[in-house]
Amino acid sequence: MICLGIEGTAEKLGVGIVTSDGEILTNLTKHMPLKEGIHPREAAQHHAQNLKPLLEKALEKAGISLGEVDLIAFSRGPGLGPCLRVVAVAARTLALKYRLPILGVNHCVAHIEIGRLTTGAKDPLTVYASGGNTQVTAYVEGRYRVFGETLDIALGNCIDQFARELKLGAPGGPIVEKLARGGSYVELPYVVKGMDLSYSGLLTAAVKKATEASVADVCFSLQETAFAMLVEVAERALAHTEKEEVLIAGGVAVNKRLQEMLRTMCEEHGATFYAPPRDVLGDNGAMIAWLGLLSYASGARQRLEDTHVIQRWRTDEVEVLWR
């Protein structure tokens, strides 16, 4: 079976084609150029304008035609409403035209499943940090349970907003990572509440700190503080769940320092650390296609009229039928 997956929850548009054996035939992502934050309507326009050429390129790269596709999957949520709707309309149109089954799938769960597929991790604690989400999850009794998450903004959003305030460029993650090299620690607020995280106070404090300390020092300290908070929550979740693997997901997980901190934590607990390849860490179409295939194989079906988008759709609301 071949599944075409379309991702478009935020500023990135992705088309991936995956077989039911887990072979990724193609995985193309188009990034919307960003100067400011993401404007939902502009991002939706970007997706609408770029989907057809991206889809054609993906099919060409995979060496197949739409007639050979067996299933259409799309990111149904969580995400920005206008973006989700563009992608859902495109997916429904393809499903109708080619008389194909369609499945809208959960974006966060897709991150976890593509990580399992590409790393071979079996039952990991997943640390998912992106522009819009920050969650520590693990599979327990039929669902990916959330053991800790941000109470306000996501980790990626915190770093991106910091970089924007200081006019360092966008997206901020890779820029701050580079600038942090050679920096030394200046104190910033470390906010972990129970098992949850709060990044908005840290953001405000870091921006303020940049008026008195060097950019390198603040970038370094922002990373150290924000990442240590996440690793602390992950560590307690690991001890509690007694999982033996830790998997990373999301665009922020590309960060070498975050990976290093998590790897160290894993070593101390005798857990195996898994980092998927870069092109499946951030938002991408292959993860949507793969979760579509897993869901379909386990019996999930959706009628066209039931494929409305779900802007707020928690990871732990999804019944995991394929495990």
Query: Contact positions toward ligand AMP, by CB under 6 A?
Result: 10, 12, 130-132, 156, 159-160, 171-174, 177, 250-252, 254-255, 282-283
Distance CA 146, CA 137 (A): 4
Strands of the chain (E only): list them. 2-7, 12-19, 24-31, 71-77, 102-106, 125-129, 134-140, 143-149, 192-193, 196-197, 245-249, 272-274
**Cβ proximity of 282 and 254 under 8 Å:** yes
Longest dimension (CA), the chain: 62
Binding mask 273-302 for Mg ion (x = CB under 5 A): ----------x-------------------
**Cβ proximity of 175 and 208 under 8 Å:** no
Q: Which does 173 bind (CB under 5 to 8 A by kind): ligand AMP, Mg ion, none?
A: ligand AMP
If DSSP codes are grouped into helix, strand and coil, which group holds residue 138?
Answer: strand
**Cβ proximity of 104 and 309 under 8 Å:** yes
Q: Which does 106 bind (CB under 5 to 8 A by kind): Mg ion, ligand AMP, none?
A: none
To Mg ion, the closest distance from the beta carbon of 129 in angstroms equals 9
Pairing of strands 12-19, 24-31: antiparallel
Nearest residue (CB) to Mg ion, 75 versus 161? 75
To ligand AMP, the closest distance from the beta carbon of 299 in angstroms equals 29
To ligand AMP, the closest distance from the beta carbon of 181 in angstroms equals 12
To ligand AMP, the closest distance from the beta carbon of 291 in angstroms equals 15
Nearest residue (CB) to ligand AMP, 54 versus 71? 54
Residues 129-168 contacting Mg ion, CB under 5 A? 130
Nearest residue (CB) to Mg ion, 106 versus 130? 130
Q: Which residue, chain included where needed, has tokens 């992705």?
A: 14
Nearest residue (CB) to ligand AMP, 130 versus 241? 130
Nearest residue (CB) to ligand AMP, 5 versus 69? 5
Q: Is the dihedral of CA 285, 290, 293, 299 positive or negative?
A: negative
Nearest residue (CB) to Mg ion, 149 versus 283? 283
Q: Which residues bind Mg ion (CB under 5 A)?
A: 130, 283
